[in-house]
Chains A and B, each alone.
Chain A
């Protein structure tokens, strides 16, 4: 009974197919085509556009990184190390009070003045940089005091003039000068550049400043340091 019904249904379907064959076949193939287009072709095409953009970006990154690598390779490693030593001498990580005192002594002598006394005052902090005070008393001609003040700008340490008090001895042309000076140092900074960050080269101003500082520090070992001081200093840094 069931088999007869199945056979009857099959025959009806076959007859329906034969009668409407002209519509059914194109409809099925059209539907299949649309499915293939929307499920395969369109997604792949959109993905192609996305990946093409990604390839372009990747190629740009490659070019930028290669240019950066070439710039880094061209940097003289020895000069870079020397420059770093220079700036760390001028603005050290620690106070290094004996070195600062020796530098000031040397500057006073070269200006033709006499160093009467040097007094250490308490350290302070200025937005990331540390500092301490050295109050110096010097005597000599006023014109040489001006020379000494000019030398502060090109000294092998960062000195900042706080104030000046000058008293001139009548008839002698000699001045007695008290100058509180702030001496700076700066803690170590850990700076690592990002891979995709462009390489920042030194500007002309920075190059000029570096040249001045290098001239002030001089060749390695020639700038005044604690071992060259004429004043017995005892401990390497008694103020720490």
Chain B
């Protein structure tokens, strides 16, 4: 006895039904894609909308902070002026520091037993000094002090002996020109 099924429908109807099922599948896929697209678009627009709210809030905060700083601008201006003025004072005060240091150094290097008769420091940093002493050893000690870097602390660039003489009173007079760095 035969058990296989025989479709008695005409081939045109079978073909039509296959065609219809394909069309239904394609339509459903299309609707699915459109639905996903609508979802993505809605999500994007919602994200942008909430982001705009965040941006507005951030800009309001910025305006408020700028307003606070603007109100305190006078204090800021005072601080800036103070710093500028201090910087100017600092630079002006430092310009003659080496002259004062060298002057004090030279006075400290003159040994006891000598007498300074003249001492001048010009604006180019050259010291001219005349010293009297009864002893050549003391004068030698002075010259040695002036030429020892450890004692001059690197402030003296050159020492020129201009004159050495013996006066009638028995005192030696030495004239020096000392250059300051």
* Chain A residues close to B by CB (< 8 Å): 21-22, 25-26, 29-30, 32-33, 36-37, 40-41, 44-45, 47-48, 51-52, 54-55, 58-59, 61-62, 65-66, 68-69, 72-73, 75, 77, 80-81, 83-84, 87-88, 90-91, 126, 128-129, 142, 146, 149-150, 152-153, 158, 160-168, 170, 180, 184, 186, 189, 191-193, 195, 199-202, 205-206, 209-210, 213
Whether B70 and A168, one on each chain, are in contact in the complex, defined by CB atoms closer than 8 angstroms, is: no
Q: A68-B69, A189-B84, A209-B89 are in contact. List 19 more A-B contacts (CB 8 A).
A: A22-B19, A25-B26, A33-B37, A47-B48, A55-B51, A59-B61, A69-B68, A81-B78, A126-B92, A129-B92, A142-B116, A162-B96, A164-B120, A164-B121, A165-B119, A168-B118, A189-B81, A195-B66, A195-B70
Closest chain A residue to B32 by CB distance? A29
Whether B77 and A210, one on each chain, are in contact in the complex, defined by CB atoms closer than 8 angstroms, is: no
Closest CB of chain B to A160's CB: distance in Å?
Answer: 5
Whether A163 and B123, one on each chain, are in contact in the complex, defined by CB atoms closer than 8 angstroms, is: yes
Interface residues on B, range: 35 or more
Whether B69 and A195, one on each chain, are in contact in the complex, defined by CB atoms closer than 8 angstroms, is: yes
8 smallest beta-carbon distances between A and B, as pairs: A65-B65, A72-B72, A29-B30, A87-B85, A165-B120, A58-B58, A69-B68, A166-B119
Chain A neighbourhood of B27, CB < 8 A: 25
Whether B115 and A69, one on each chain, are in contact in the complex, defined by CB atoms closer than 8 angstroms, is: no
| Contact A91:B85 (CB < 8 A) given known A160-B95, A184-B92, A200-B80 | yes
Closest chain B residue to A193 by CB distance? B76
Closest chain B residue to A161 by CB distance? B96
Whether A62 and B51, one on each chain, are in contact in the complex, defined by CB atoms closer than 8 angstroms, is: no
* Chief secondary structure at chain A's binding surface: helix
Whether A84 and B121, one on each chain, are in contact in the complex, defined by CB atoms closer than 8 angstroms, is: no
A-B contact count (CB 8 A): 198
CB contact between B93 and one of A59, A146, A153, A180 (< 8 Å): that residue: A153
CB contact between A41 and one of B29, B44, B87 (< 8 Å): that residue: B44
Whether A37 and B37, one on each chain, are in contact in the complex, defined by CB atoms closer than 8 angstroms, is: yes
| Contact A80:B82 (CB < 8 A) given known A72-B72, A146-B107, A149-B100 | yes
| Contact A65:B48 (CB < 8 A) given known A161-B96, A191-B81 | no
Q: Would you give 13 A-B contacts (Cβ < 8 Å), ordered by A?
A: A33-B33, A41-B44, A55-B54, A58-B62, A69-B69, A80-B82, A84-B78, A163-B120, A163-B121, A167-B117, A168-B117, A205-B90, A213-B89
Interface assignment of B59: CB less than 8 Å from any CB of chain A: yes
Closest CB of chain B to A179's CB: distance in Å?
Answer: 9
Chain B neighbourhood of A73, CB < 8 A: 72
Whether A167 and B66, one on each chain, are in contact in the complex, defined by CB atoms closer than 8 angstroms, is: no
* Chief secondary structure at chain B's binding surface: helix
Scan residues 24-53 of chain B and give those whose CB is less than 8 A from a CB of chain A: 26-27, 29-30, 33-34, 37, 40-41, 44-45, 47-48, 51-52
Closest chain A residue to B64 by CB distance? A62
The CA-CA distance from A59 to B54 in the complex, in Å, is 10
The CA-CA distance from A48 to B30 in the complex, in Å, is 28
Closest chain B residue to A149 by CB distance? B100
Give 1 or 0 for each of B158-176: 1 = CB within 8 Å of chain A CB: 0000000000000000000
The CA-CA distance from A61 to B60 in the complex, in Å, is 12
Chain A neighbourhood of B22, CB < 8 A: 22
Whether A193 and B80, one on each chain, are in contact in the complex, defined by CB atoms closer than 8 angstroms, is: yes
Chain A neighbourhood of B65, CB < 8 A: 61-62, 65-66, 69
Closest chain A residue to B22 by CB distance? A22
Whether A166 and B122, one on each chain, are in contact in the complex, defined by CB atoms closer than 8 angstroms, is: no
Whether B75 and A80, one on each chain, are in contact in the complex, defined by CB atoms closer than 8 angstroms, is: yes
Whether A48 and B100, one on each chain, are in contact in the complex, defined by CB atoms closer than 8 angstroms, is: no
Interface assignment of B140: CB less than 8 Å from any CB of chain A: no
Closest chain B residue to A171 by CB distance? B115
Closest CB of chain A to B52's CB: distance in Å?
Answer: 8
Give 1 or 0 for each of B102-124: 1 = CB within 8 Å of chain A CB: 01100100000001111111110
